[in-house]
Structure 1
Amino acid sequence: MSTADDLSPAERYADYRNGRKHPVFRAFESLYSFPLDDFQARACHEIEDGRGVLVAAPTGSGKTIVGEFAVHLALETGRKCFYTTPIKALSNQKYNDLVARYGPDQVGLLTGDNSVNGEAPIVVMTTEVLRNMLYAGSRTLLGLGFVVMDEVHYLADRARGAVWEEVIIHLPESVALVSLSATVSNAEEFGEWLATVRGDTTTIVEEKRPVPLYQHVMVGKRLLDLFADSDVDAKAGFVKEGAPVNNELLRIARDDWASSRMKDRRSPRGRSQAGGGRGNAGGPKQVGNGRRVWIPSRYDVIDRLDREGLLPAIVFIFSRVGCDAAVTQCLNAGIRLTSPEERDAIYQFVEESCRHLPDEDLQVLGYHDFLDGLTRGVAAHHAGMLPAFKQCVEELYLRGLCKVVFATETLALGINMPARTVVIEKLTKWNGETHADITPGEYTQLTGRAGRRGLDVEGHGVVLWQPGINPREVAGLASTRTYPLRSSFRPSYNMAVNLVHQFGRERSRELLEQSFAQFQADKAVVGLARQLRKSEDALDGYREAATCHLGDFMEYAALRRRISDAEKGAAKSRRNDRREEALASLAQLKPGDVIEVPTGKFAGFAVVIDPGFSAEGPRPYVVTADRQARRLAMIDFPTPVAAVTRLKIPKNFNGRNPQMRRDLASALRSRTHNLTSPPTRPGKAPADSGTEREVTRLRNEMKAHPCHQCPDREDHARWSERWFKLDRDARTLKRRVEQRTNTVARQFDRVCEVLTALEYLDGDEVTPRGRHLMRLYSDMDLVAAESLRHGLWDGLTPSELAAALSVLVFEARRPDDASSPRIPGGPVKPVVGEMVKLWGELDALEREHHLDFLRAPDLGFAWAAYRWAEGDDLDDVLGAIELAAGDFVRWMKQLLDLAGQVADAAGDAELRETAREVVRRLRRGVVAYSGLAD
């Protein structure tokens, strides 16, 4: 933004008028020491004018300032503002930021873990908490004026994305919605949907980065530019497609490819070719012309970035083990990035932050190694770490004390940790099923953290050289604008009962048809419907062109088509019969049989070496009379084949040996010299002549039709054929339109059918059974509700109930992680067995209604839940299961959520109290830590 001295008189007058029109924004802007960008100012103006906004901007561009203005405006106008985030860590971070500005009396926090000052005018919460409030009709919603949805692009998340759409659809119309999103390629489409469901909404897309981003590849200890042109638009965060790649990188890639080809030829098969061993320790790689390409070690990377002044850095390693190993490797190499004063500050901060954790737990959690790494300026950050440790890393990094963070991609999801440099170690990652290339959207999201506004003149994205890397593919990742936002919305059982309770089925159906999922499906239908209308218009024209003065020509044409279809069907049936006969004849062949290949490139006599039976059918391996050894296929045998004579195959015959082939071919020619081709075997006679009789009847009917005598018959026939072909295409289009129309509503109908069958719904009424389900928000909501209904958890102790509930929460990271889970003794095993049986019945019911919502219960956390509820030490619990401390805490907190829901939903007073006791027992030690600043 320009200063007042830079403005012309006309611009100064416009600025003055704008200030009078938006006085709250003018006061808000004065709180910052830097001028706001145009997109920020425009968005704030729209909010002050009473409109909702969608702001799509790159990471680090300052879009959260727009959300903070909504908070400021709410306080200035005496209204409430809810600030929603996708993850608890981001909620905690935003809560602390807002408390620092407005004070603890003005700001509250509501997450699954914490409830602080929930009736404050400003409340930070996870999106699920707001969804639950809307369904419950919470009084906290009174006076709500604004909702900020940070990271709203999370609605594409398969597991949780539906919650964002539920909130957007169900918020009262009087609430202004401020949506903050990463740059997505269809922001305008998303904004159009928001305007449809929320009313007046302005979409503001900002593609320029506040800090330019430059792309590099690190080869050995050299940091090379990715692009040849130094004038690429680094402000955009991506470059135009086709930008020239650095020739030096292309040369290295060619040499690398040539070297690997040569090595493949020279090296014995199966011998390891790894240069640096496990953990990317690094090592030389000999290339074709004698030069060596070094795969940079992790220490080399940090050392080079440090010498170039490119720290702080985030190094993305798509493996938790890899992140921890990277810290260990740097420490073993003697790395030290901090001054004595910084080390003292780090030590004091970490000790203070972890003082609430028991000493015996700290030993188990590797606290001293963690502290050693931090005091030297390096740390890991991933979901397997204890939340308290992760928050130490985040805070010390933001203070500039932690210089390097080795992180998994989860760090890129929301929390505020910008860097001067972002390093991506590999361009492939495990996606849950296989190692796949990262997408352009993921690349943009990761590198987008490079370049700290107000601190850095430029940001840097670095990809580490790996064997087989293609610089042009890297350039393609860097030059793709971004990724489209796709809805993951689908109605759940809990959603259905809550909607029907509030609105009835018909109104609920209408609401769900407003979802972004249906909006996107409908937009796709628009093009199909346009094609369908064109086809229908053309059909009318074709029918008119086929009009005959003697009679109904379309009726006559239909007779002709029925005759043609019947004849084609009969011919196809005969071909299938011949194929079956050919298959049966090939299955009878034996080594040494001499056959005559009827057609194709290898037609003539051949001797069978191997009949070649396989799942795909027989593929005989033969030697022909002209000395060729070939494996034949069914295409070579359109008719059945039979052995005409036999030859003895030499022992140890090898078809690759030319001399053996010559000798066998010579014997074959001698044996077949006087043989004539065997007669073609007749096919089976048709079982009946019903088809022939039907064709004859239709032909007679056709000849008797008045149009058969028309002199323009064939001209009419051409138009009728066009009509039939277009009609077939139009019917296909119509089916596609019907499939995409009301897809969400039809899925909702199927959900309601399941709930009606189980007596959770009775028409427009939610039954008492359904009211229990209304309070269960788990992914396994229906299994939990049915377990309550059948009394499966009645009489369990708190520890036993914790174990039973855990099977509805826990999911092993990989299917083989919990192959033989340990189950507590007593009643837990039979109860869990009944729950699994119950799930099986529900799964069958879902399949009947073409649904697939409920996954199988996972028993892998039952033992840990039981022992923790029994009061065991963290060391004992973690020692009994293959689970990282961070995962243990995360699953425990989800188990706490479900236990709290059961305490609300259960009809039995004793079970309600047992569930509350589960919550009390589980919330201790590392699980009880809230993550809030004191």
Structure 2
Amino acid sequence: MKIRMPEMPPTTLLATLGLHNLLPAIVFLPTRRRCDEAASEAALARRGEPDARREARRDFMGSLVEQHPEIRHHRHWDTIIRGAVASHHAGHIPAWKLVIEKTMSAGLLDAIFATATVAAGVDFPARTVVVTVADRRSAHGWQSLTASELQQMTGRAGRRGKDRVGFIIAAPGPHQDPQRIAELLKAPPDDLESQFRATYTSLLNLLDAFGNFAQVRAIAEQSFVFRAALPEIHRLEKSRDDHEHRIQEKLRLASVDISSSTVRAIERLSSARARLLESAPQTRREARLRWLQKVVQPGRIAAVGRSGKRLAMVTSRSRDGVTAVREDGRTLSFALERIGRVFAPIYSTKPERIDEAFDEIHGRGHELALPEPRQRESRTDEDEAIKLINDLIDSLAMSANQIEKENVRELLWSLQIDAQAIEKAERQIERLRAEVWEPFERCARVLDHFGYLEFANERVTDRGRWLADLRVDRPLLIGEALQRGLFASLDATRAAAL
């Protein structure tokens, strides 16, 4: 149960920690704003206190200005110099956060006030970690800390080579929950989740370094995100190999000189034949509907209804429906199967040309009507394909020229269950591997469209190398904006504000 407790004033907190020799400390607070406020409050209260390290801080930070001139006039400069405290969160520019981390590591700060979200990204230990929150603020609102997040926060306690033990203090605060903190400290770590993502810049850098998509894919498959799929891939590979061994053993025992690849080829042909048989029209109605789906298209005139006397010009159609214009100019929509005859010419659908089209159909309709296929005719293509597949299966089955042909045929068909299992396992393995590569391929096609790489040649262009060096969020958006001169009118100050 969360207990509403007022926050301990930063000044009181630091004074208490100093009294018990528990400084320096990292104090985790709920929001960026509260971190800045706490640092300012603590610095204001400590301005008059003697501090032999004040000049050392001034000199140390001054030495960093040459490397990072943008920190010179930072509004928190005086807070650090006079108060030996600082705030650290994602709202600060990278150079300023680096200065804080270096100053803390140099032993020149007593406290840093930080948000829980930066716990995993900081690398400056302290003697003490103060936890004032059991929740963290995210893009989706307030969320409870996880065991791993609390572990990241508390793991900063204890300085290597200086402290034999680190201290963790749960301090009161409006977002504090001591019971929840106790539960999280005993909880097992959260499952690891890979943060490896397919991005435009990562793809450009990998392709430029390794030269082809095959190498990039191989690297992607070595990432931790792919490891989650490895147990399932290994299971499928074992199943595939077991079925392969079973086929080979049965062929060996039967003394049949046919390879397992031939058995799998027969299975693929059989599956193709089954799909053709399933898709072939079984009734006259199915055959006619398939024919209508093929021939009814915008610009053609069709006779509607049983009588076939009402004519309409098709203007658009969906899979099973048609929108058309009648001779009187009215628009109507109807099911595809209500069409009687369809006429061959494809006319312009412009209103001024429609009357001419109807006149021609009235005059020569009997010549221009498309012949409807009979059911037997509609299956000709499928039947020819099925016959070809049957011939191929027979030729593969008899390739060994065995005397007992019927026994060989029966054996080969008995092996199809194992062959089907092998083919299914192969498809599943490829699907799992493709899940890692497909995001990279989508990125590659986008980059190819904008000229940052050549997809067909698997080569990064000069523009692509320039884009790969952009260290910003949404590099493609920013890169295109820069290439098109959208920021050309901005001065340095306004450009930095972006």
Q: 1:356 Cα deviation (Å)?
A: 9.2
One-letter amino acid of the structure 2 residue matched with residue 456 of structure 1: D
- Summarize the Cα distance change of 1:792–1:508 in structure 2 as closer, same or farther, 3 Å threshold: same
- C-alpha contact 1:327 1:380 (8 A) present in aligned 2: yes
- C-alpha contact 2:40 2:79 (8 A) present in aligned 1: no
Q: 1:451 Cα deviation (Å)?
A: 1.1
- Summarize the Cα distance change of 1:867–1:472 in structure 2 as closer, same or farther, 3 Å threshold: same
One-letter amino acid of the structure 1 residue matched with residue 228 of structure 2: Q
- C-alpha contact 2:23 2:111 (8 A) present in aligned 1: yes
- Summarize the Cα distance change of 1:736–1:429 in structure 2 as closer, same or farther, 3 Å threshold: farther
Structure 1 match to 2:36: 324
Aligned equivalents of 1:356, 1:509: Cα separation in 2: 39
Q: 1:453 Cα deviation (Å)?
A: 2.3
- Summarize the Cα distance change of 1:428–1:765 in structure 2 as closer, same or farther, 3 Å threshold: closer
Q: 1:758 Cα deviation (Å)?
A: 6.1
SS at match of 1:328: helix
- Summarize the Cα distance change of 1:472–1:524 in structure 2 as closer, same or farther, 3 Å threshold: farther
Residue 486 of structure 1 pairs with residue 177 of structure 2: no
SS at match of 2:161: coil
Aligned equivalents of 1:329, 1:736: Cα separation in 2: 60
Q: 1:439 Cα deviation (Å)?
A: 1.7
Structure 1 match to 2:227: 519
Q: Percent identity?
A: 28
Aligned equivalents of 1:755, 1:356: Cα separation in 2: 35
Residue 305 of structure 1 pairs with residue 17 of structure 2: yes
- C-alpha contact 1:315 1:404 (8 A) present in aligned 2: yes
One-letter amino acid of the structure 2 residue matched with residue 302 of structure 1: L
Task: Tell me whether 398-407 or 444-453 shows the greater mean CA deviation.
Answer: 398-407
One-letter amino acid of the structure 2 residue matched with residue 378 of structure 1: V
Aligned equivalents of 2:173, 2:120: Cα separation in 1: 26
Aligned equivalents of 2:214, 2:64: Cα separation in 1: 53
Q: 1:506 Cα deviation (Å)?
A: 4.2
Aligned equivalents of 2:71, 2:226: Cα separation in 1: 53
Structure 2 match to 1:763: 456
Aligned equivalents of 2:478, 2:95: Cα separation in 1: 31
Structure 2 match to 1:69: none
Residue 315 of structure 1 pairs with residue 27 of structure 2: yes
Aligned equivalents of 2:104, 2:183: Cα separation in 1: 31
Residue 867 of structure 1 pairs with residue 487 of structure 2: no
Q: Deviations over 1:643-674 (max 9, x none)?
A: xxxxxxxxxxxxxxxxxxxxxxxxxxxxxxxx
One-letter amino acid of the structure 2 residue matched with residue 301 of structure 1: L
Q: Deviations over 1:834-855 (max 9, x none)?
A: xxxxxxxxxxxxxxxxxxxxxx
- Summarize the Cα distance change of 1:743–1:372 in structure 2 as closer, same or farther, 3 Å threshold: closer
Structure 1 match to 2:436: 744
- C-alpha contact 1:338 1:375 (8 A) present in aligned 2: no
Aligned equivalents of 1:337, 1:421: Cα separation in 2: 24
Structure 2 match to 1:922: none
- Summarize the Cα distance change of 1:490–1:393 in structure 2 as closer, same or farther, 3 Å threshold: closer
One-letter amino acid of the structure 2 residue matched with residue 761 of structure 1: E
Q: 1:524 Cα deviation (Å)?
A: 3.9
Q: Deviations over 1:765-810 (max 9, x none)?
A: 548xx4422431146455567678xx733xxxxxxx6x26xxxxxx
- C-alpha contact 1:493 1:781 (8 A) present in aligned 2: yes
Aligned equivalents of 2:133, 2:117: Cα separation in 1: 16
Q: Deviations over 1:688-738 (max 9, x none)?
A: xxxxxxxxxxxxxxxxxxxxxxxxxxxxxxxxxxxxxxxxxx999998655
Aligned residue runs from structure 1 range 639-788, under 5 A: 739-754=431-446, 760-761=453-454, 763-764=456-457, 766=459, 770-777=461-468, 778=470, 780=474, 782-783=476-477
Aligned equivalents of 1:490, 1:357: Cα separation in 2: 30
- Summarize the Cα distance change of 1:531–1:479 in structure 2 as closer, same or farther, 3 Å threshold: farther
Structure 1 match to 2:362: none
Aligned equivalents of 1:524, 1:359: Cα separation in 2: 51
Aligned equivalents of 1:338, 1:741: Cα separation in 2: 63
Structure 1 match to 2:484: 792
- C-alpha contact 1:497 1:761 (8 A) present in aligned 2: no
Q: 1:513 Cα deviation (Å)?
A: 3.4
Aligned equivalents of 2:63, 2:123: Cα separation in 1: 22
Aligned residue runs from structure 1 range 544-693, under 5 A: none
Aligned equivalents of 1:764, 1:358: Cα separation in 2: 43
- Summarize the Cα distance change of 1:756–1:525 in structure 2 as closer, same or farther, 3 Å threshold: same
SS at match of 1:742: helix
Aligned residue runs from structure 1 range 134-145, under 5 A: none
Say which structure, 1 or 2, has more relative contact order (CA 8 Å, 6+ apart): 2
Q: Deviations over 1:427-478 (max 9, x none)?
A: 2112222111122112111111111222223211122234685544212321
Aligned equivalents of 1:776, 1:416: Cα separation in 2: 29
- Report the aligned-residue RMSD: 4.8
- C-alpha contact 1:441 1:482 (8 A) present in aligned 2: yes
Q: 1:744 Cα deviation (Å)?
A: 2.2
Task: Tell me whether 347-356 or 515-524 shows the greater mean CA deviation.
Answer: 347-356
Structure 2 match to 1:578: none
- Summarize the Cα distance change of 1:393–1:479 in structure 2 as closer, same or farther, 3 Å threshold: same
- Summarize the Cα distance change of 1:752–1:318 in structure 2 as closer, same or farther, 3 Å threshold: same
- Summarize the Cα distance change of 1:411–1:535 in structure 2 as closer, same or farther, 3 Å threshold: same
SS at match of 1:486: coil
- C-alpha contact 2:88 2:115 (8 A) present in aligned 1: yes
- C-alpha contact 1:427 1:438 (8 A) present in aligned 2: yes
Q: Deviations over 1:65-107 (max 9, x none)?
A: xxxxxxxxxxxxxxxxxxxxxxxxxxxxxxxxxxxxxxxxxxx
Q: 1:419 Cα deviation (Å)?
A: 0.9
Residue 341 of structure 1 pairs with residue 49 of structure 2: no
- C-alpha contact 2:133 2:176 (8 A) present in aligned 1: no
Task: Tell me whether 527-536 or 771-780 shows the greater mean CA deviation.
Answer: 527-536
One-letter amino acid of the structure 2 residue matched with residue 422 of structure 1: V
Residue 366 of structure 1 pairs with residue 75 of structure 2: yes
One-letter amino acid of the structure 2 residue matched with residue 366 of structure 1: R
TM norm structure 1: 0.29
SS at match of 1:775: helix
Instruction: Could you tell me which runs of 5 or more consecutive residues in structure 1 were left unpaired when the two chains were aligned.
Output: 1-252, 258-273, 276-281, 283-294, 538-729, 794-800, 805-823, 825-865, 882-887, 892-934
SS at match of 1:418: coil
- C-alpha contact 2:116 2:136 (8 A) present in aligned 1: no
Structure 1 match to 2:115: 408
Aligned equivalents of 1:732, 1:323: Cα separation in 2: 56
One-letter amino acid of the structure 2 residue matched with residue 452 of structure 1: R
Q: Deviations over 1:252-301 (max 9, x none)?
A: x6xx87xxxxxxxxxxxxxxxx87xxxxxx3xxxxxxxxxxxx5333332
Aligned equivalents of 1:377, 1:785: Cα separation in 2: 40
SS at match of 2:52: helix
SS at match of 1:341: coil
Aligned equivalents of 2:107, 2:181: Cα separation in 1: 30
Aligned equivalents of 1:361, 1:297: Cα separation in 2: 29
Structure 2 match to 1:441: 148
SS at match of 1:772: helix
Aligned equivalents of 1:440, 1:528: Cα separation in 2: 34
Q: 1:327 Cα deviation (Å)?
A: 2.1
Aligned equivalents of 1:356, 1:771: Cα separation in 2: 30
